[in-house]
Structure 1
Amino acid sequence: MNNNDRDKALYRYPDSDVLRNRLGITDAGQLEHVEFLLVSQRLEEAIPKGNFDLPHLQKIHRHLFQDVYDWAGEIRKVDIGKGGFGFHPHGRIEMGMADVHKRLDQQSYLRGLHRDKFVVEAAEYIGDVNRLHPFREGNGRTQLQYLKQLGEQADHKIDLSRFERKSWIQASIEANKFETTRMADCINKSIVDHSVQHTTSRQSYVEEQRKRAKAAQDRAKTRDRDPKR
């Protein structure tokens, strides 16, 4: 069985690109909307902590996506890619994440680093995790919670509402090519300065996602009213 056939058998509905889900939703727009709502609810709860290894990532992913996918928290069993870039082979994810954890441990999980140094190092590690892409879906949201906890224990409070979606997506694309300057800049802008109160209003990453989910819901309603569209 080739990789595409295995992906169909394990993760997708027959003759569809929609991922199998616990809700039985077969419309892509509706699934995007419902997934967003359910994950948002889980984000309001305490996010599992750990020691920044693979099981830690798995716990975060399982918590966020437990209401949507039966395989929440499980390492993907197929190879995947995006935008012409192939992520780490699924059979080497454990080894790759073990290397990330080993290096983090050797650097004391970035504790004691000045902000300027922290954002550079954190970007390198998140770039590594992104290239691994351990899960079939939901990697980005899992990585952001991992990053937030990494910053928290290193005394750099990261406010995820400061992330601008387009900038972060572009940063992730560049990080796949081992260029993490933009990612470091995104992380730097998200850190709450202990001595300065920021009052500037900025559209948050979460707000942008909410708009995307609403747009997906509207498209789904339009298709329901006019099946020919």
Structure 2
Amino acid sequence: MDNFEEYLRQGEPNKAEKAKVWKTAIGLQQVDGLKPSDYLIATAKQNIEGDISIDEVKQLINSYYKQHPEKDSENRTEEADKVSAQIAEILSEQTFTFSPAEYLTIHRRLFQCVYSHAGRIRDYNITKQEWVLNGDTVLYASAESLKVTLEYDFEQEKKFRFKGLSQQEIIEHIAHFINDLWQIHTFGEGNTRTTAIFLIKYLRKLGFKEVNNDLFAEHSWYFRNALVRANYEDLSKGIHKTEIYLIHFLSNLLLGENHPLINREMHVQYIDTVKKQNDTVKIENDTENDTVFYLIKQNNKITATEMGERLKISLSTVKRKIKELKDSGIIARLGSDKTGHWEIVEK
């Protein structure tokens, strides 16, 4: 990523904008553990300098791999290079249509030089072992229902109205939509990169022009793991679906917040011993705090007023205890005070 910092520091708008696009395009390859070649980096710099166009970048990359075919198919550098160039092209365009066809087109354009099934809805069921799930898999949509499910999700999103929502509620809704879209896993490969590009373009359509795409460049693996955790549950082990990590990512992305984006904290077996001990000591030494926590655990829609009535303490005291629990990362509020609910953040 340091390859493009010089352009971002120089302050020339055109070069800086191109550098941001390339930084995002290359960073997104990390979702599948891919790393572009030095040749792609050098060619991207030529594009940033204005010496060659995106079309010429793609032509050079294609010619390079005709002359230097990959010997190790597991390396997938050719895929990383070609897909990076396609992402840079798509993100440079000021066009977008909110539709399943656009989603399919993005996949086709990203992977047309890589996969024979580019842009096609998969016709087989899939599973994928995930590090964050300790080798388990998310349950993806059945191949038989993909087209109908995809169209349904888009239709519901088109009907949705953002009017009257707070910024936080907007982010929570977008997190839920993009989470559902990714869970379908419309394609055999390349779902996360396709979903990320679609999300960036959709956010622009919604008016988020200054999206901090550095997060996609630097935390693309976190983005993928957040989507995985939002779609996985194992109630026998006390593991619940949670969109809180995805909401943290989007809050940083759109609101400039500073939630720590740490992959290991999403792992289903992660235990931060020090934090757990500190939280336990804090709760055990504070009877009211402990009771507030368990009231929330029993009823995630309970209001502060109801807690005050049940505990026979003032509303201000309840709010102070809730703030302490939130600041400690023990609970999180999803949605507004009126229509939202509490979530216990499992560590």
Considering the TM-score relative to the shorter chain, is it more than 0.5? yes
Q: Deviations over 1:192-217 (max 9, x none)?
A: 66xxxx9x9xxxxxxxxxxxxxxxxx
Report the residue type matching 1:34 in the other structure.
Answer: E
Q: Quick one: distance in 2 between partners of 1:87 and 1:113?
A: 30
Given candidates 215, 231, 234, the residue that maps to 1:176 is 231
Q: Quick one: distance in 2 between partners of 1:105 and 1:112?
A: 17
8 Å contact kept, 1:131–1:176: yes
1:95 equivalenced with 2:148 (yes/no) = yes
Report the residue type matching 2:127 in the other structure.
Answer: G
Report the residue type matching 2:74 in the other structure.
Answer: G
The within-5 A match list for 1:21-100 is 27-30=72-75, 32-46=76-90, 49-83=95-129, 84-100=137-153
Q: Deviations over 1:26-85 (max 9, x none)?
A: 84433x211111011111213575443321110111111111112110111111112322
Q: How high is the TM-score relative to the length of structure 1? A: 0.66
Q: Quick one: distance in 2 between partners of 1:113 and 1:42?
A: 35
CA RMSD of aligned residues (A): 2.8
Q: Evaluate the alpha carbon distance shift between residue 89 and residue 159 of structure 1 in structure 2; reply closer, same or farther with a 3 A threshold.
A: same
Report the residue type matching 1:33 in the other structure.
Answer: T
8 Å contact kept, 1:100–1:128: yes
| Unmatched 5+ stretches in structure 1 | 1-22, 201-229
Report the residue type matching 2:145 in the other structure.
Answer: R
Greater relative CO, 1 or 2 (CA 8 Å, sep 6+)? 1
8 Å contact kept, 1:58–1:73: yes
Q: Quick one: distance in 2 between partners of 1:25 and 1:89?
A: 34
Tell me the CA shift for residue 88 of structure 1: 0.4
1:118 equivalenced with 2:170 (yes/no) = yes
Tell me the CA shift for residue 94 of structure 1: 1.0
| Alignment match, 1:190 | 253
| Unmatched 5+ stretches in structure 2 | 1-65, 130-136, 233-240, 259-347
Q: How high is the TM-score relative to the length of structure 2? A: 0.45
Work out the number of aligned pairs and report it. 173
Q: Evaluate the alpha carbon distance shift between residue 111 and residue 134 of structure 1 in structure 2; reply closer, same or farther with a 3 A threshold.
A: farther
Q: Evaluate the alpha carbon distance shift between residue 46 and residue 85 of structure 1 in structure 2; reply closer, same or farther with a 3 A threshold.
A: closer
Report the residue type matching 2:144 in the other structure.
Answer: G
Q: Quick one: distance in 1 between partners of 2:248 and 2:154?
A: 23
Tell me the CA shift for residue 112 of structure 1: 7.4
Q: Quick one: distance in 1 between partners of 2:174 and 2:164?
A: 13
Report the residue type matching 2:243 in the other structure.
Answer: T
In our comparison, the structure showing a higher alpha carbon Rg is 2
1:144 equivalenced with 2:196 (yes/no) = yes
Q: Evaluate the alpha carbon distance shift between residue 70 and residue 189 of structure 1 in structure 2; reply closer, same or farther with a 3 A threshold.
A: same
